[in-house]
Amino acid sequence: MRAVRITVAALAASLALTACGGGGSDDSDSKTRAGGACAIGDVDVEAGPANAAPAAGDSGNLPVTVTNNGPECTLKGFPEIELRTADAAAAVAPDQAAKATTLTLAEGASTSVTLTYVRGAAGAGSLDVSTLRVTLPGASESQDFPWSYGPVAGTADAPEASFTAFQQAGD
């Protein structure tokens, strides 16, 4: 399946609220671009390609990759991930074993989380997901990706899905 690559302008803007500051102050509320939060237009987010679950009851995986295209920047904590239907938004929780991290990305460096989900049967007891929504840590803006991997088992209050902490990609 073809990966969706989107430049994220709005997502990175709010990272300044949660990432480590790189300015002249040690105050964690003082956030700047120099070694701090990823700046608008300097981060690409890609969802996929997926290892889609072939049938109801099977598990599938979808990587969500963040690539820094500017100077060194920082991601702190977990992203917010939602599975969206026409009528509802189901918040996906981090895997129980995942631990929030602070990750500094050099220019060109990437990190990713992996969303794991259980494919549901069409109809009751499943979410007819049409969109995956990703919000980077501390951001208020989000990025949507089309979902073409079938229904997800569970309900809007309890989707059968979870994701990993950010993992450094490459070297």
pLDDT tens-digit map of 9-35: 333 333 333 333 333 333 333 333 446
CA gap 142, 56 in Å, rounded: 29
Averaged confidence pLDDT in the chain: 78
Number of Cβ within a 10 Å radius of residue 72:
16
Name the residue with tokens 């950010």.
166
Q: Looking at residue 35, what is its pLDDT?
A: 61
pLDDT band at 38 (very low <50, low <70, confident <90, very high): low
Among 62, 96, 66, which residue's Cα sits nearest to residue 79? 66
Tens of pLDDT, residues 120-158: 998 878 999 999 998 888 667 788 999 999 999 999 999
**Overall residue count recorded for the chain in this entry:** 171
Domain boundaries in the chain? 4-169
Q: What is the pTM of this model?
A: 0.76
CA gap 79, 166 in Å, rounded: 9
CA gap 23, 53 in Å, rounded: 45
